[in-house]
């Protein structure tokens, strides 16, 4: 028996959402169908969540068809990337006070040690108006050149630009209006629980009593879900939403990547739950076609000589990357084992497709190539929205698609063959 359902999962990865967007555009080209008609459930985290929402938002002209093609969502990154990842808005009072406190502590330390640097002087705010930023920046430039002083006290990017772009693309659309069942991940820091935005209102009611997580739908918009799932710690401020159909007051939400940067396993479970709710019986695992899209795997290793003496500050940025990449890779491993044709002997066709570019390390550790003869320099940081990096991500993605064209055509053929007689 062939596949009865298809599931799509899209990883987080910031500006590197260009990669899955271009892969999906190729699938739409091959099948001549929109993504929302090819998959029964789509799950996304962070940038993958934004893509999921964009691909399932109904058009104002015809509510049965999507407003955006995957190709149009590539433009979201190419044309709007710099707006999404714009610099923070100045918050001088907070920054100044923190700098002053640091300088005072340094001054007190020197006085206590008899250095006399600040002896005989009052440490007044006016004394630091011109020097406060230079002092901390000098310290950081000496020991942590990759960190901006302001990043220690506030999020790296303003949410203003991201909110404008998301509003332009997703405004006035409720989660329950999605053209396919969708699941968007986020995490509540005040309740310390995963929060899942879903388009399936029945699941909100079904999971209402869970003590481990919240599933929310009614009254929430696609914009709510997009801003929550992309609120990456240290990059953007957390996002608050009121609790609408639950006695909770509300949720302080951050990026779902903190627990599910690759939501493939969650997507499979929810697809199976939806099938059972609709058909009254379980769907055999080998009747699920599973597609998982990454945003590119980081290649640069961190050797013992480099990290042996790192402290909390130096670990912040690489630890985020390691956590996100590591979580994605272990889910990929689990899916390969669970859905391998060698284990599922009843399957004649490939059941699990994972598309994940590998950024190969080259001489300059800040840049990566796709392993081709002509190097394409890609900075794999999630917020590098420079024109050069976006152009190179597009070129690198196209090369990856060319390399994987056989598997993409094979997948597109399988997706086109699925007949859902009950829909």
For residue range 212-234, list pLDDT tens digits in order: 999 999 999 999 999 999 999 98
The separation between CA 213 and the C-alpha centre of its own chain, rounded to angstroms, equals: 19
pLDDT classification of 325: cutoffs 50, 70, 90? confident
CB 74 within 8 A of CB 18: yes
Phi/psi-derived region of residue 265, left when phi > 0, alpha when psi is between -120 and 50, beta in every other case: alpha
For residue 115, what pLDDT is reported? 46
Q: What are the structure tokens assigned to 407, written together?
A: 């598997």
Query: How many C-beta atoms lie closer than 10 Å to residue 46's C-beta?
Result: 33
CB 249 within 8 A of CB 242: yes
Higher pLDDT, 312 or 177: 177
The closest of 172, 151, 162 to 49, measured between CA atoms, is 162
* Beta-carbon contacts of residue 112 (< 8 Å; ≥ 6 apart): none
- Rounded to whole angstroms, the Cα distance separating 328 from 265 reads 11
Q: Is 152 exposed, middle or buried (0-12, 13-18, 19+ CB in 10 A)?
A: middle
Find the range with the poorest average confidence among 57-61, 170-174, 326-330. Answer: 326-330
- Rounded to whole angstroms, the Cα distance separating 101 from 115 reads 19
421 SS3 class: coil
Stretch 131-136: mean pLDDT? 56
Stretch 25-30: mean pLDDT? 98
Strands 250-255 vs 239-242: parallel, antiparallel or unpaired: antiparallel
Find the range with the poorest average confidence among 50-54, 99-103, 200-204, 293-297. Answer: 99-103
Higher pLDDT, 134 or 209: 209
CB 19 within 8 A of CB 382: no
Question: For residue 61, what are the CA distances in angstroms to 65, 73, 223?
Answer: 9, 18, 20
The closest of 299, 303, 306, 302 to 325, measured between CA atoms, is 299
Q: What are the structure tokens assigned to 97, written together?
A: 């006070």
237 SS3 class: coil
* Beta-carbon contacts of residue 39 (< 8 Å; ≥ 6 apart): 6, 7, 8, 180, 291, 415
CB 17 within 8 A of CB 295: yes
- Rounded to whole angstroms, the Cα distance separating 311 from 334 reads 32
pLDDT classification of 41: cutoffs 50, 70, 90? very high
pLDDT at residue 119 is higher than 50: no
61 SS3 class: coil
The separation between CA 59 and the C-alpha centre of its own chain, rounded to angstroms, equals: 25
Stretch 393-412: mean pLDDT? 95
* Beta-carbon contacts of residue 97 (< 8 Å; ≥ 6 apart): none
Residues present in the chain in total? 423
Q: What are the structure tokens assigned to 257, written together?
A: 């990547």
The closest of 338, 245, 335, 226 to 291, measured between CA atoms, is 335
pLDDT at residue 127 is higher than 70: no
For residue 378, what pLDDT is reported? 85
pLDDT at residue 304 is higher than 70: yes
pLDDT classification of 359: cutoffs 50, 70, 90? confident
pLDDT at residue 361 is higher than 70: no
């Amino acid at each position: 028996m062939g596949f009865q359902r298809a599931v799509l999962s899209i990883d987080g990865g910031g500006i590197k959402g260009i990669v899955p967007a271009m892969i999906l555009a190729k699938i739409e080209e091959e099948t001549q169908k929109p993504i929302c008609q090819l998959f029964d459930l789509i799950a996304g985290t962070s940038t993958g969540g934004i893509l999921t929402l964009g691909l399932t938002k109904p058009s104002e002209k015809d509510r049965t068809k999507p407003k955006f093609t995957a190709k149009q969502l590539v433009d979201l990154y190419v044309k709007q990337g710099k707006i999404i990842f714009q610099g923070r808005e100045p918050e001088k009072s907070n920054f100044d006070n923190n700098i002053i406190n640091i300088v005072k502590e340094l001054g007190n330390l020197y006085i206590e040690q008899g250095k006399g640097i600040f002896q005989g002087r009052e440490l007044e705010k006016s004394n630091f108006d011109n020097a406060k930023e230079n002092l901390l920046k000098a310290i950081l430039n000496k020991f942590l050149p990759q960190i901006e002083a302001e990043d220690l006290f506030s999020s790296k990017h303003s949410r203003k630009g991201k909110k404008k772009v998301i509003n332009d693309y997703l405004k006035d659309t409720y989660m329950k209006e999605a053209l396919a069942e969708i699941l968007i991940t986020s995490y509540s820091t005040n309740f310390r629980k995963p929060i899942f935005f879903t388009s399936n209102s029945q699941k909100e009611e079904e999971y209402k009593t869970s003590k481990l997580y919240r599933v929310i739908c009614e009254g929430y918009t696609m914009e709510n879900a997009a801003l929550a799932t992309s609120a990456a710690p240290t990059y953007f401020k957390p996002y608050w939403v009121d609790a609408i159909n639950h006695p909770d007051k509300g949720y302080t939400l951050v990026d779902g990547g903190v627990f599910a940067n690759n939501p493939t396993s969650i997507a499979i479970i929810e697809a199976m739950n939806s099938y059972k709710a609709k058909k009254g019986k379980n769907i055999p695992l080998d009747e699920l076609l599973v597609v998982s899209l990454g945003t590119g795997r980081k290649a640069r290793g961190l050797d013992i000589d480099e990290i042996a003496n790192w402290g909390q500050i130096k670990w912040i940025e690489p630890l985020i990357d390691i956590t996100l990449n590591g979580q994605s890779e272990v889910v990929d491993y689990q899916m390969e084992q669970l859905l391998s044709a060698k284990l599922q002997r009843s399957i004649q066709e490939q059941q699990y497709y994972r598309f994940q570019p590998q950024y190969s390390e080259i001489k300059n550790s800040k840049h990566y190539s796709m392993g081709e003869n002509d190097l394409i320099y890609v900075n794999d940081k999630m917020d590098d929205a420079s024109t050069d990096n976006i152009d190179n991500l597009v070129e690198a993605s196209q090369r990856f698609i060319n390399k994987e064209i056989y598997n993409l055509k094979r997948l597109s053929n399988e997706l086109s063959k699925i007949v859902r007689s009950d829909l």
